[in-house]
């Protein structure tokens, strides 16, 4: 057989995207299309042209995702059904504008499960439970994948389901408050922490299935549990769960695509950092771990305490903030000390180093692509809102620092063969940079992006 015949045979043997689809695939596609048409007929009058375009593009995208990764089909259908049930329960009582949101405190299923706040609280509980089960799996002795880890994985799916249901219902609730109040729930720190939690968890579940290992769940769920803890604190301290009208700069269709793309980047960067931590616990020397993992939070605690007691006449608010950060860093220090001390059982179930390295690379590459898209979209949004593509606002500056950090990591990986401990330390340090860009800028710096201040 000559080369042209061989090439033709390979081409003819390649399946198209519509070939080999079973009845369940087509049923899922029909349900997505039916749901999209229902949304157009029910809510089309409230949408502008951009929103209709986004919905039209979302239907084939969701179908493609469901065909690519089949567990998404059941998740999508379940979230849609739960959201429609919540909407129907709300719609039984109306006020002067729309559905009466007071039903969230009166109707049993809304009060305890399907209102946005109840669903998000269930998300928090399920993420905490899954973290405990994943960590418990490290100390089990049955086979490669313990029963505890299997339960933990199902709990994560449950948490993602509740998070998405809460998000969809919150979107509906916002439109029932008054004219021009409704918006996609990605506009403040409360809403984006929910987005970060379920996005990161969903991407982890994909890699868990692809690489056929649950041993990394304990590490990835740590960063998700930290986000959930912040979410709960922020809810109590700032009553952040209350739906607020958008400030003028956020009343843009750019927000609907810029923010989710950004958080795909944040989620995958966090995932890669936790994989890097697992890699280092498995390979780094005890001395390197003590210096890198224990030394950093210890130095931060010392610096905070030196500022706290060494500088006179600090305002009471500043003192309270320093005390809070000292407690957080001390907790992180205790965790790292325990992790280093128990490194043997915590790494016994980890997959081989090549797989960890490959997963770290794939997560960063995916996150970098989406973060790049989000940064470009953000520039267009800035031009529309403020008249310029770039203004060196603190948020923009730190977004550029994050982008350059991971661009350099990928360059060293692809051009210089960066591997091993150096790549892992770099990825773990990248989480510190990303966290400051995501959260620290809102806490310590002010600028055009100061919508979610603490």
Least confident of 156-165, 189-198, 254-263, 410-419: 254-263
Average pLDDT over residues 227-231: 92
H or E element in which residue 34 lies: helix 23-43
Q: For residues 263 and 195, what is the distance between their CA atoms, to the nearest angstrom?
A: 7
Query: What's the pLDDT at 1?
Result: 47
Contact 123, 193 (CB under 8 A): no
Contact 213, 351 (CB under 8 A): yes
Q: For residues 118 and 348, what is the distance between their CA atoms, to the nearest angstrom?
A: 38
* Tens-place pLDDT, residues 118-151: 999 999 999 999 999 998 888 776 554 578 889 9
Task: Give the confidence band of 406 by pLDDT, cuts at 50, 70, 90.
Answer: very high
The torsion region of residue 420 among left (phi > 0), alpha (psi -120 to 50) and beta comes to left
* Tens-place pLDDT, residues 236-284: 877 888 888 888 777 787 888 899 999 999 999 999 999 999 999 999 8
Average pLDDT over residues 189-210: 94
Task: Give the confidence band of 424 by pLDDT, cuts at 50, 70, 90.
Answer: very high
Query: What's the pLDDT at 15?
Result: 62
Strand partners, 99: 94
- Whether the per-residue pLDDT at 453 is higher than 70: the answer is no
Per-chain mean pLDDT for the chain: 86
Average pLDDT over residues 290-304: 86
- Other beta carbons within 10 angstroms of residue 190's beta carbon come to 23
How many helices (H) and strands (E) are present in the chain, helices listed first?
A: 18, 0
Q: For residues 78 and 99, what is the distance between their CA atoms, to the nearest angstrom?
A: 23
Least confident of 63-77, 309-323, 395-409: 309-323
Average pLDDT over residues 153-181: 92
Query: What's the pLDDT at 16?
Result: 65
Average pLDDT over residues 108-119: 94
Residue 206's nearest CA partner among 137, 135, 270, 156 is 156
- Whether the per-residue pLDDT at 47 is higher than 60: the answer is yes
Q: For residues 107 and 116, what is the distance between their CA atoms, to the nearest angstrom?
A: 13
Residue 447's nearest CA partner among 396, 387, 372 is 396
Burial status of residue 442 (CB atoms within 10 A of its CB: 0-12, 13-18, 19 or more): buried
Query: What's the pLDDT at 165?
Result: 97
Average pLDDT over residues 352-381: 93
Q: For residues 329 and 127, what is the distance between their CA atoms, to the nearest angstrom?
A: 22
CA angle 286–288–290, rounded 5-degree value: 70
Query: What's the pLDDT at 234?
Result: 85
Looking at the chain, the whole-number percentage of residues with pLDDT higher than 90 is 47
Task: Give the confidence band of 207 by pLDDT, cuts at 50, 70, 90.
Answer: very high
Contact 283, 421 (CB under 8 A): yes
Residues 6+ apart with CB under 8 A from 281: 289, 339, 340, 343, 346, 347
Query: What's the pLDDT at 18?
Result: 72
Helix/strand/coil percentages in the chain, nearest 5: 80, 0, 20
What six digits make up the tokens of 131? 């973290």
Q: For residues 198 and 161, what is the distance between their CA atoms, to the nearest angstrom?
A: 8
Query: What is the four-CA torsion angle of 242, 245, 251, 255, rounded to 10 degrees?
Result: 0
Strand partners, 94: 99
Task: Give the confidence band of 6 by pLDDT, cuts at 50, 70, 90.
Answer: very low
The model's pTM is: 0.89
Residue 328's nearest CA partner among 290, 305, 297 is 297
Average pLDDT over residues 166-192: 88
Task: Give the confidence band of 360 by pLDDT, cuts at 50, 70, 90.
Answer: very high
């Amino acid at each position: 057989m000559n080369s042209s015949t061989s090439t033709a045979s390979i081409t003819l043997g390649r399946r198209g995207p519509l070939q080999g689809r079973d009845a369940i695939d087509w049923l899922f596609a029909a349900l997505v299309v039916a749901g999209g048409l229902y949304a157009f007929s029910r809510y089309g009058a409230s949408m502008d042209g951009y929103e209709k375009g986004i919905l039209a593009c979302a239907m084939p995208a969701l179908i493609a995702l469901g065909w690519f990764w089949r567990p998404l089909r059941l998740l999508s259908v379940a979230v849609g059904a739960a959201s429609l049930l919540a909407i129907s329960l709300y719609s039984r009582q109306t006020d002067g504008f729309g559905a009466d949101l007071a039903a969230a405190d009166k109707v049993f299923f809304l009060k305890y499960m399907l209102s946005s706040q109840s669903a998000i609280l269930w998300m928090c509980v399920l993420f905490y439970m899954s973290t405990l089960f994943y960590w418990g799996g490290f100390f089990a002795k049955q086979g490669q994948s313990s029963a505890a880890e299997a339960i933990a994985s199902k709990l994560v799916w449950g948490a993602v389901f509740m998070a998405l249901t809460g998000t969809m219902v919150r979107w509906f609730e916002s439109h029932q408050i008054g004219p021009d109040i409704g918006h996609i729930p990605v506009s403040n720190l409360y809403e984006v922490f929910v987005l970060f939690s379920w996005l990161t968890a969903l991407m982890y579940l994909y890699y868990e299935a692809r690489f056929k290992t649950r041993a990394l769940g304990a590490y990835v769920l740590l960063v998700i549990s930290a986000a959930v803890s912040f979410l709960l604190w922020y809810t109590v301290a700032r009553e952040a769960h209350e739906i607020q009208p958008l400030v003028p700069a956020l009343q843009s269709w750019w927000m609907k695509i810029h923010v989710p793309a950004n958080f795909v980047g944040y989620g995958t960067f966090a995932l890669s950092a936790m994989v890097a931590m697992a890699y280092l616990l498995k390979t780094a020397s005890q001395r390197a771990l003590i210096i890198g993992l224990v030394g950093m939070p210890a130095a931060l605690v010392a610096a905070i305490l030196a500022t706290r007691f060494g500088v006179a006449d600090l305002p009471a608010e500043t003192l309270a903030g320093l005390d809070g950060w000292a407690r957080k860093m001390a907790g992180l220090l205790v965790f790292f000390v325990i992790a280093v001390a128990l490194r043997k059982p915590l790494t016994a179930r980890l997959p081989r180093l090549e797989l960890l390295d490959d997963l770290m690379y794939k997560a960063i590459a995916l996150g970098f692509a989406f973060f790049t898209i989000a940064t470009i979209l953000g520039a267009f949004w800035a031009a529309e809102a403020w008249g310029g593509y770039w203004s060196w606002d603190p948020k923009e500056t730190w977004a550029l620092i994050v982008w350059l950090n991971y661009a350099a990591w990928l360059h060293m990986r692809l051009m210089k063969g960066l591997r091993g401990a150096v790549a892992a330390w770099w990825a773990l340090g990248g989480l510190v940079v990303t966290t400051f860009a995501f959260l620290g800028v809102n806490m310590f710096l002010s600028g055009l992006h100061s919508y979610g201040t603490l």
